[in-house]
Amino acid sequence: MIPNYRLSLPDRLLVYLGAPLIHLLGLTLRIRCMGRRDLGHPKGQGEPVLLSLWHETLLMGMWFHRNRDIHVLISQSRDGELVASVSRIFGCRPVRGSSTRGGAEGARHLATAMKKGHRGAITPDGPRGPRRRLHEGVLAIARLSGRPVLPFAFCAERQWRMRSWDRFIVPKPFSRAVFVYGEPIMVPRSAGDEEKYRQRIQDEMDRVMKEAEGYFQRNLPASGYPSSPSPGLKS
């Protein structure tokens, strides 16, 4: 049984003051969106996807996909409860579990939600790394749910990097930002070829992250970015 965590009063204040600030920060960004933008069902065509993003991009990844019926796998810890509380404010639904605690149960819950038509999201190098190293949980969820994995990356032209294991990204206000979607990857339900599909997802996640990080090194003009916080995304 996955335990429930209760935040202290200072933690609750941090969440309810921090979430609006994150939202305001996101609204200041000049955003470019690249790659596939259709997240699949609900209330539309196509299979719901399992978004896969590195832990360092989780903050803006949740904000960018707010209110889109996404169930997010989040670790069972105090920090995880903080993230889960913020995710609820952004209209996501936290599913508790990680590679270290409650992982199997969390994976089953997320896979069940996706089979019912909901979208999913996972940070496959969380909650403690190694940084940008894919854990096997994403394969298990993809197999159990029968849904495609969609690698996703984010980078900002001007940003802060936290001194954490993942070098967590916080974009600076009014910066240009890019959100990059990769190619969806189906993982067969049958056993076998585990390393093959793990490496395919790893490679695609590395590719979209490299594309996002290199975007502002290609001397693109500063003008012409949409002001909408989520341009072209389909619900």
> Cβ–Cβ contacts within 10 Å for residue 222, how many?
9
Residue 5 lies in a domain: no
Q: Taking the CA atoms of the chain, what radius of gyration do you get in angstroms?
A: 17
- In angstroms, the Cα distances linking 196 to 99, 100, 116, 191 are 20, 23, 28, 12
Task: Show the domain range for 37.
Answer: 32-217
pLDDT at 156: 96
Query: What is the DSSP annotation of 50-66?
Result: EEE--GGGHHHHHHHTT
Residue showing tokens 């909650």 = 127
What distance in Å separates the CA atoms of residue 97 and residue 115, rounded to the nearest whole number? 18
181 three-class SS? strand
Q: Render the burial of 192-206: b for 16+ CB within 10 Å, e for the rest.
A: eeeeebbebbbebbb
Domain count across the chain: 1
Question: Where is 95: in which H helix or E strand?
Answer: strand 93-96
Which residues are paired to 170 by β-bridges? 160
DSSP-derived letter for residue 164 is S
Residue showing tokens 């803006």 = 60
Q: List the helix and strand counts (H, then E) for the chain.
A: 6, 9
pLDDT at 219: 45
pLDDT in tens, the chain (235 residues): 445 567 788 888 988 999 999 999 999 999 999 997 678 655 556 789 999 999 999 999 999 999 999 999 998 777 888 899 999 999 999 998 765 555 688 889 999 999 999 999 999 998 888 999 999 889 999 999 999 999 999 999 999 999 999 999 999 999 999 999 999 999 998 767 888 999 999 999 999 999 999 999 874 555 444 434 444 344 4
Residue 228 lies in a domain: no
Give pTM, 2 decimals.
0.86
Q: Render the burial of 5-14: b for 16+ CB within 10 Å, e for the rest.
A: eeeeeebeee
Residue 10 lies in a domain: no
Residue showing tokens 């049958």 = 190
Residue 74 lies in a domain: yes
Residue 49 lies in a domain: yes
CB 101 within 8 A of CB 127: no
Residue 38 lies in a domain: yes
Residue showing tokens 């009063």 = 9
Residue 4 lies in a domain: no
Handedness of CA 76, 79, 81, 84 (dihedral sign): negative
Residue 15 lies in a domain: no
What distance in Å separates the CA atoms of residue 209 and residue 151, rounded to the nearest whole number? 9
pLDDT at 229: 42
Identity of the amino acid at 208:
V
